[in-house]
Amino acid sequence: MTDPIDIQLARELMRGDPEAFERFVEHFQTKVFQYSYLMCGHREDAEEVAQETLFKIFESIQSLREPEAVRSWVFRIARNACYMKRRKSVFAPSEEISLDQLMPSVNQQGGERKLEIADWSNLPESQVLQSELRGVLEESIGSLPDIYKTVLLLRDVEGLSGQETAEVLDISVDTVKTRLHRARLAVRDKLDRYLRTVGVSQ
Amino acid sequence: MNDCKQIFALLSEYIDGELPPDICSRLEAHIEDCGPCVEFVQSLKKSIAMCHKFEAGEKPEPLPDAVKQGLRETWERMRTQMG
């Protein structure tokens, strides 16, 4: 699930390819904006974070030794810029997600055990998200507590590895795994509630 | 490993192929015989696949010319320093 375009662009930029600058700026502005928009929740903050991150990238480009490290390096800068924009107290405790709350009930129907969830079988794996479902997904991700949201955005949306995510966030790979699992279950649960309300329930 | 709750805690690592082989085979042996677990894994995989394709509805405005110029000058200065 790696996204080699990030690494290719960094390699071209560091090689001095004259067209790389424009492509690199446009690509990472979009990536950092999306991450910051979901982390900060404000469009203006996200625009500023993207610009500040780009300036920091070029000011400290010497510290990027390997193009392969570009994603964790860029998102580490973006994460720090997001922290500076946080409108709520940095001391506000982050809500914990408990596994028990996200485990669905199982109903005994005759001899068969049935799960009380929506029927996901009609959603194809490769479905391009239709606008309403995309909006529900955005709201589901956006409403996660910050410590879970940042892990899900980096791992599942941006495609960073567990190790890269751990480096960006200064946490262990095991903590990345624990938080990612809870974040995924919480998003699945919210999508499930939506799918049940739109009438695809069993 | 025959408890759905134990399985439930390991599903992301299972889907990401990060479980040690012995735990993975025990988990698969349970799932094979457990309809609710099969159905749940399918829903979780689809939810994760949606995140892989997710793009926020908001897109950034194109950078103002002055900002782009400032970025280019910073880049050119650093390139010169790097030799």
Q: Which CATH class is domain A4-85?
A: mainly alpha
Q: Residues 107..146 of A with a Cβ closer than 8 Å to B: which?
A: 112-115, 117-118, 120-121, 123, 125-129, 133-135, 137-138, 141
Mean pLDDT of B67-76: 94
CA pair distance A180, A152, nearest whole angstrom: 6
The domains of chain B are located at 1-55
Which pairs from A85-91 meet CB under 8 Å and 24+ separation? Answer: A85/A36, A85/A40, A85/A42, A85/A45, A85/A48, A85/A49, A86/A40, A87/A40, A87/A42, A87/A45
CA pair distance A81, A6, nearest whole angstrom: 20
The CATH number of the structural domain formed by A99-197 is 1.10.10.10
Residue A118: helix, strand or coil by DSSP? strand
- Tens-digit pLDDT string for chain A (202 aa): 445 899 999 999 988 888 899 999 999 999 999 999 999 989 999 999 999 999 999 999 888 889 999 999 999 999 999 988 876 555 566 788 999 889 888 887 777 788 889 988 877 665 566 778 889 999 999 999 999 999 999 999 999 999 999 999 999 999 999 999 999 999 999 999 999 998 654 3
Return the structure tokens found at A34.
Answer: 């999306």
Residue from A137, A120, A129 nearest A187 by CA: A137
Is residue A129 within 8 A of residue B54, CB to CB? The reply is yes
CB contact under 8 A, B45 and A125: yes
Could you report the predicted ipTM of this complex, rounded to two decimals? Answer: 0.93
Angle of helix A173-197 versus helix A162-169 axis, rounded to 10: 100
The reply to whether A170 touches chain B by the CB within 8 Å rule is: no
The domains of chain A are located at 4-85, 99-197
pTM: 0.91
Task: Give the distance from residue B36's alpha carbon to the nearest chain A alpha carbon, in angstroms.
Answer: 5
Chain B residues touching A54 at Cβ < 8 A = 63, 71
CB contact under 8 A, B43 and A16: no
Is residue B11 within 8 A of residue B41, CB to CB? The reply is yes
